[in-house]
Chain A
Amino acid sequence: MISLHSDVLVIGGGNAALCAALTARQAGAAVTVLEHAPRACRGGNSRHTRNFRCAHDAPTDVLTDAYPEEEFLADLNRVTKGEGDPVLSRLLITRSTGCPAWMKQFGARFQSSLRGTLHLGRTNVFFLGGGKALMNTYYAAAERAGVRVEYDAEVIGLDIADGKFQSAQVRMGDRTQTVTAKAVVIAAGGYEANIEWLREAWGDAADNFIIRGTPFNTGTLLRLMLDAGAEPIGDPTQCHAVAVDARAPRFDGGIVTRLDSLPFGVVVNKLGERFYDEGEDAWPKRYAIWGRLVAAQPGQIAFSVVDAKVTGSFMPSVFPPVVAGTVRELAAKLELPAETLEATVTAFNQAVRPGTFDRATLDDCQTEGLTPPKSHWAQRIDTPPFWGYPLRPGITFTYLGLKVDDAARVVMADGRMAANIYAAGEIMAGNILRQGYVAGIGMTIGTVFGRIAGEGASHYAGG
């Protein structure tokens, strides 16, 4: 067995890990990064991201107008229902402001102004080329700075004594190495790619989940830390899940498997029946409830059905729609009971009240006397061709994580602080995000707490 030592060991290879590594290296520490994935797949779920949320008081080169801290906090509290740690939430938002400038010193590049899809140029900074481009930039900066990066390096054990990290057992190829360090930053993501673990909360339904991100987020580090006596935080039965195209790859489908057709037609389960108000609220706000809704349906599958009137109203998706000239034919192609689907569409069409369709607002097109109702964008489904898309729950991330303090230090179950163990990124996002999601906050958490963890770990290692 070979031994390897550094001042600061960073476990993980995504945004939070790289921010911690770069910060610690700048502070003078000898840093080793252990990335479970091979080089070509490095970067965890950050490679699928696009932007991060950033408070600012005046327009900048990459953000329009102002996004005051108070507004950011209000947006965050709205989705988490105020359950997040108030100190850490405030710290996150305050420290988000300086992030673009910090990132630029490593060569990070941003979109200049937004012409894109989400219209978030005021609240979110968009990475030029997306998260993978940013990860490439960080890895190149880390290599230039002399950070040691080990790919295909899977941590399989931690030696923690009395809240103090001693070493990690790392599988590299067919060898196992012991890696020692004065301090460790754990930034190894969540456990959404660990189907066995998901089954604990979701039962057999988990077998039908699609994992939108990296297959390397198996939660090994979270499990090791909890077993070593770390305090958990966040609801183990919750995860962020959206409805994705059922034909998506099992892992790493990322952004392109999302489907935006749902609010423009009806959504039925495999019995051919509707089960939720498709027009409840503006789509971005309701985007993330559909994963759980589909997960609750028999066989964890559902189908979005639209007609020719609205096919230009939503972002194209990567898989072609199933197209048919009649609802009955569509039912046959989607393998749905034809009579029920026809009855569902007929009942829906009869319940649609006249209105003026406007996809950009909460329009007045709604149903009357229908259960469940459709509150907006309800138009008769009567114009062929009819399009259908199969849907599955697509898991983005999990909420269960490690409790940390405002220095990103891990809190142990007995209430004491771990001496030299820091956590950043998705593995501690539950401190702030107990439920819901606001676009881009995952990367903000990773960047801010990655930097804080890197500062803390390098300070500890140097002291």
Chain B
Amino acid sequence: MPEASVLDRGEFVMTVCNSCRYCEQYCPVFPAMERRTSFAAGDLAYLANLCHNCGECLYACQYAPPHEFGINVPKTLAEIRVRSYESYCWPGALGAAFSHHSVSTALGLVAVFAAVLMGAGWVAHGGDLWRATAGDFYSVVPHDVMVGLFGSVGAFVLLAFGVGLRRFWQEVHSDSVPPSPTAARRALGDLLTMRHLHTTGVDCTSGVETRRPWRRWFHHCTFYGFMLCFASTSVAAIYDGVFGWIAPYGYASLPVVLGTVGGLGLLVGPVGLLAVRRKRDPELGDAEQTGMDESFIVLLLVTSATGIALLLLRNQPAMGTLLMVHLGAVLALFVTLPYGKFVHGLYRTAALLKYASESEAEERR
């Protein structure tokens, strides 16, 4: 459970909001709040993960600091959000990771993994590692090693996601009726468009009366870039496993095209997100999460940058080194997925599904 003082604060904030309700048309957090009269840990976790941190409600709030109530909904929900990540995470002991991320630990992890891989490569290949066969990644890391390593890490990550989601869902969705297909479609639409970041027709705020589209667009680049890279890997896995077509694939092949476009998205998106963060009013978030946020963005960036470098230089002698660095980055990204900022997407999706389900039930009444 998130620590009591944060939850107490959240309960007070939501109680003030619920007796004011001026913000009710900004986003789903407020209608969802109005459906409740008390705010237990599960309610707060749901509301916190429903919040897209657009920031409008801070500037509109007559009870924001310096008012003695000191209401700051985006910041309070951000604090509850990270504590919800910690409390639903599996295995629970790794929940401590969320508050210990930093850009240097992320880069350090990349370096360690790359070094271990290179060490293993050195043992296997000796000096040949630096003179690898043009474009043939498996000559550097054998096919079975690659599949075994990333397959097992991937399976573990999926298991961790599943347990976390299940814990979250059990707490926020107490009624036994599963969400309908309509609710699921609505939630998927909300997720893919992130429309609640700009519910009011314009974009999210970075300061008082300063609304900019960039945060949303850079997030879209990042999200869709990630999905395309994921699709690229999946297609490649099918090529390999089903058809027995072994990499490398040509520049015009589907895995390479998907990976290239996705990789570019993952270059532009993270760079943009890092830039807009610097221009955003710090009051809109929880400064203590900077490490968690930026380490994830940097890992995405390092992964895409090394991936694209690898593609461009795959016929060069540096390929072996680059491959090890890239795989180190991918590995660092993967093992931290369940214990870092990535999980916001999981709980956000579940919260959107809950909201769609709740709204549907209300509309039926």
A interface residues (Cβ-Cβ under 8 A, vs B): 40-41, 47-48, 50, 107, 109, 111-112, 115-117, 127-133, 136-137, 139-140, 249, 252, 254-256, 258, 312, 315-318
Contact = CB atoms under 8 A, between A and B. Distances in A.
B364 to A, nearest CB: 16
A204 to B, nearest CB: 26
Contact of B19 (A50, A133, A315): A315
A128 B200 contact: yes
16 contacts: A41-B66, A50-B22, A109-B200, A111-B24, A115-B24, A115-B25, A115-B31, A128-B26, A129-B59, A130-B23, A137-B209, A249-B69, A254-B62, A255-B19, A316-B15, A317-B19
B20 A136 contact: no
Given A50-B22, A130-B60, A255-B19, 9 more contacts: A107-B209, A133-B59, A133-B60, A140-B208, A249-B68, A256-B16, A256-B20, A312-B37, A318-B19
A130 B209 contact: no
Interface of B: 15-16, 18-26, 31, 37, 56-57, 59-63, 65-69, 200, 208-209
A132 B66 CA distance: 14
Contacts of B57: 129
A107 B210 CA distance: 12
B60 A40 contact: no
B204 to A, nearest CB: 14
B67 A252 contact: yes
B63 A256 contact: yes
A132 B63 CA distance: 10
B60 A129 contact: yes
A129 B22 contact: yes
A132 B60 contact: yes
B61 to A, nearest CB: 7
Contact of B25 (A128, A255, A316, A318): A128
B282 to A, nearest CB: 16
Contact of A132 (B19, B62, B65): B62
Task: Tell me the interface secondary structure of chain B in the complex.
Answer: loop
Nearest to B31: A115
B113 to A, nearest CB: 47
B15 to A, nearest CB: 6
A128 B19 CA distance: 17
Contacts of A139: 209
A116 B16 contact: no
Contacts of B26: 128-129
A128 B15 CA distance: 20
A129 B19 CA distance: 14
Contacts of B66: 40-41
A424 to B, nearest CB: 22
Contacts of B61: 132
Contact of A112 (B15, B25, B65, B209): B25
A252 B71 CA distance: 13
B21 A129 contact: no
A318 B62 contact: no
Contact of B20 (A40, A115, A127, A255): A255
By Cβ-Cβ distance, the 5 closest A-B pairs, closest first, are: A129-B60, A130-B22, A140-B209, A133-B60, A256-B19
A128 B27 CA distance: 11
Contact of A255 (B22, B24, B60, B65): B22
Contacts of A252: 62, 67
Among B26, B37, B63, which residue has the most Cβ atoms of chain A within 10 A? B63
Give the interface centre of B37, B59, B62 by most chain A CB atoms within 10 Å.
B62
A312 B208 CA distance: 37
A116 B63 contact: no
Nearest to A40: B66
Contacts of A47: 62
Contacts of B16: 256, 318
Nearest to B12: A318
Contacts of A130: 20, 22-23, 60, 62
B239 to A, nearest CB: 49
A14 B35 CA distance: 33
B15 A318 contact: yes
A257 to B, nearest CB: 8
Contacts of A133: 22, 56, 59-60
B103 to A, nearest CB: 33
Contacts of B23: 129-130
A132 B68 CA distance: 16
A351 B274 CA distance: 69
